[in-house]
Amino acid sequence: MTTGLRAGWRDQAWQALVRGPWDLVVIGGGITGAGIARRAAQAGLRTALVEQRDFAWGTSSRSSKLVHGGLRYLAHLQFGVVRDSVAGREALLRVAPGLVEELGFLMPLYRGTSPGRATLTAGLFAYDLLAGRRTHRHLSAREMNRLVPSIQMDGLTGGFRYSDAWTDDARLVLRVLADARAAGAVTLSYARVEGLMRDGSGLVAGIALRDEGPDGGRRTAEIAAQVVVNATGAAADRLRGGIGGEPRIRPLRGSHLFFPTDRFPLAHAVGSAHPADGRPVFAYPWEGVTIVGTTDVDETGDQAVEPRISASETAYLEAWLSETFPSLELSALDAVASMAGVRPVIGTGKADPSAESREHVVWEENGLVTVTGGKLTTFDAIARDALHRIGPRLGGRPSRRGGPLDVVAPIGAPKDSAFEPAALRRLLGRHEREAADAIAAGRPGETAAIEGTRDRWLDIRWAARAEGVVHLEDLLLRRVRLGIQLPEGGAGVLDQIRAIARPELGWDDARWDAEEAAYRHLWATAYAPRPE
Ligand SMILES: Cc1cc2nc3c(=O)[nH]c(=O)nc-3n(C[C@H](O)[C@H](O)[C@H](O)COP(=O)(O)OP(=O)(O)OC[C@H]3O[C@@H](n4cnc5c(N)ncnc54)[C@H](O)[C@@H]3O)c2cc1C
């Protein structure tokens, strides 16, 4: 079965949505909504998912891109999060090679700082115990220096190495959505829920939807569903507010800087306490760049607008860089891009934002099921929990079908193997069922990598043809990630991208010019290292 989104897909999805009927409508096309739609469709429920912007537009493309157990949550005694996260990480490593890959983490130890060696030994022992495999070991200061020559040596007494994993968060969402479609779900982007329908007894019984796509004429529809799930992340209070729910979300912004690897080379992730507040901050290699992050501050901006890094967050990350890698003399001026995302954290009024729990919640209010909080890594545990809770409202369905291990569908390798094993693994991880078609679509020369990234020109062609790109920003910020990997958001390769993508998208020159202008403005105001 094809799970791609080729020309005409939005109209087909709209018609199917209006036709119904639906057991479950999921609002929000981030990892939480995608995970729920996938499990629901696989359990035989008639499932639809709608997203107001692009799939993964929200926090799920703006995370730290780590599939991790959350070592730091042990310090906050959030054992449930760590247990679910480690299980999620291990499952994803097993079934999604090429999309989720192991990454070595180094934690330097400095004289007189905490946590000290004994505490870390205990924490890492517990962490490994949950995973059922030992990954950590102690390193001498000399070993640390050999692995990271630029690391601060003053007071360094040694360190630890352990394993977690990285992913491409937006691609993970796309892959989970493809699984959902393969099981029969209908998914539509640029479709905004403007209100909730209620039945005679006041219970939520559907959604009022508006098509926000450039070709949809802003059409509207009311779509009935037995169960409506609010998976709108940090914006979850908005829909809850419409049915009388009190605000409970504390939106916390986290921002990252992206450096070119020639300016900031790293083979391992390095994490240490920030000199100002002791929060762990990390630098790590990711898809041809080095990421530095993150911050944790209250977000007061409008949730419908792109979040962006503030000057004080930039200064915070720079302070950590000069403390940890002093010889490199790095500043935001060396970075190619920034990216900010907003955590959907349940507020309990703690003074320190980082002390708020990262556990997910499932709330049922007047028939609306809100699922938020949690982490990218734990999306499948969240989905299974949510469906278990919804089950009684759907006549006992879904059953608890599927275990934690089939977290995304494993993919077999296509016969065509012109690629090196590592490149093929990556193509499979990203394009899943469509990998053979994506490879076959590449024209001569398009198997080459786009310089400065791990993407190939054929990734651009395939995304434009079959991955539901509606605006240019969808292509450059989420199908591939050139917008955060190349200087000026990839301005230097936009002409080549235009030559490949414009005909595939069916856009005329005027449409391309308008899209490019909008993308450049967006990049300058939200993704530049120092946004305007
Ligand atoms: C800085 C940062 C770093 C993080 N790092 C990690 C990490 O390394 N590993 C990890 O596991 N987790 C990490 N997390 C947590 C993780 O990213 C989030 O928990 C997860 O992405 C939340 O997914 P979600 O689907 O609930 O929300 P979102 O991804 O925000 O999805 C909600 C979607 O709902 C849509 N929406 C809103 N209103 C409407 C409406 N009215 N109609 C239709 N659609 C609507 C939005 O457009 C949005 O796309 C991080 C979070 C942040 C902020």
Residue 381 is predicted with a pLDDT of 93
- Residue 383 burial by Cβ neighbours in a 10 Å radius (0-12, 13-18, 19+): buried
Question: Ligand 1: which of 375, 407, 474, 478 to mutate, judged by most atoms within 8 Å of the beta carbon?
Answer: 375
Measured CA to CA, the distance from residue 104 to residue 252 in angstroms comes to: 27
**Residues of the chain above pLDDT 70, percent:** 95
User: Cα(344) to centroid of ligand 1, in Å?
Assistant: 7
Is the CB of 383 within 6 Å of ligand 1?
no
Is the CB of 361 within 6 Å of ligand 1?
no
Q: State the closest ligand 1 atom to the C-alpha of 53, by its place in the atom list counted from 1.
A: 47
Residue 511 is predicted with a pLDDT of 98
Residue 296 is predicted with a pLDDT of 94
Q: Is the pLDDT score of 326 beyond 90?
A: yes
Q: Is the pLDDT score of 404 beyond 60?
A: no
Is the CB of 375 within 6 Å of ligand 1?
yes
Please give the distance of CA 108 from its chain centroid, rounded to a whole number: 28
Residue 1 is predicted with a pLDDT of 53
Q: Hey, whose CA ends up nearest to atom 48 of ligand 1?
A: 58
CA max distance for the chain: 71
Closest by CA to 372, choosing from 66, 76, 26, 83, is 26
Among 191-195, 372-376, 399-403, the minimum mean pLDDT is found in: 399-403
Question: Ligand 1: which of 64, 169, 188 to mutate, judged by most atoms within 8 Å of the beta carbon?
Answer: 64
Q: Is the pLDDT score of 30 beyond 80?
A: yes
| pLDDT band per the 50, 70, 90 thresholds, residue 347 | confident
Residue 220 is predicted with a pLDDT of 97
Residue 11 is predicted with a pLDDT of 96
Q: Which residue has the higher pLDDT, 451 or 413?
A: 451
Taking each helix axis from N to C end, the angle separating 79-95 and 117-131, rounded to the nearest 10 degrees, works out to: 50
User: Cα(325) to centroid of ligand 1, in Å?
Assistant: 31
Is the CB of 193 within 6 Å of ligand 1?
yes
The residue-averaged pLDDT of 444-461 equals 95
User: Cα(30) to centroid of ligand 1, in Å?
Assistant: 6
Among 75-89, 109-123, 279-293, 396-410, the minimum mean pLDDT is found in: 396-410
The model's pLDDT over 160-188, given as tens digits with 9 standing for 90+, comes to: 999 999 999 999 999 999 999 999 999 99
The verdict on whether omega for the bond into residue 324 sits within 30 degrees of 0, i.e. cis, is: no
The model's pLDDT over 296-306, given as tens digits with 9 standing for 90+, comes to: 999 988 877 89
Measured CA to CA, the distance from residue 464 to residue 457 in angstroms comes to: 11
Beta bridge partners of 343: 252
The pTM score is 0.96
Q: Is the pLDDT score of 2 beyond 70?
A: no
Q: Are 54 and 189 in contact (CB under 8 A)?
A: yes
Among 214-218, 300-304, 366-370, 481-485, the minimum mean pLDDT is found in: 300-304
The model's pLDDT over 95-109, given as tens digits with 9 standing for 90+, comes to: 999 999 999 999 999
Half-sphere exposure of 140 (CA within 13 A, CB side): 3
Q: Counting runs of H as helices and runs of E as strands, what totals does the chain give? A: 17, 18
The model's pLDDT over 253-280, given as tens digits with 9 standing for 90+, comes to: 999 999 999 999 999 999 999 999 999 9
Q: Is the pLDDT score of 415 beyond 80?
A: no
**Residues of the chain above pLDDT 90, percent:** 77
Q: State the closest ligand 1 atom to the C-alpha of 32, by its place in the atom list counted from 1.
A: 25
User: Cα(56) to centroid of ligand 1, in Å?
Assistant: 8
Q: State the closest ligand 1 atom to the C-alpha of 85, by its place in the atom list counted from 1.
A: 11
- Mean pLDDT, the chain, as a whole number? 92
Residue 396 is predicted with a pLDDT of 67
Measured CA to CA, the distance from residue 191 to residue 16 in angstroms comes to: 13
Residue 399 is predicted with a pLDDT of 52
Residue 414 is predicted with a pLDDT of 60
Residue 412 is predicted with a pLDDT of 62
User: Cα(66) to centroid of ligand 1, in Å?
Assistant: 14
Residue 292: both structure tokens together:
């530095």
Is the CB of 59 within 6 Å of ligand 1?
yes
Residue 16 is predicted with a pLDDT of 98
The residue-averaged pLDDT of 16-29 equals 97
User: Cα(351) to centroid of ligand 1, in Å?
Assistant: 23
Q: Which residue has the higher pLDDT, 431 or 50?
A: 50
User: Cα(448) to centroid of ligand 1, in Å?
Assistant: 32
Question: Ligand 1: which of 60, 66, 83, 240 to mutate, judged by most atoms within 8 Å of the beta carbon?
Answer: 60
Q: Is the pLDDT score of 146 beyond 60?
A: yes
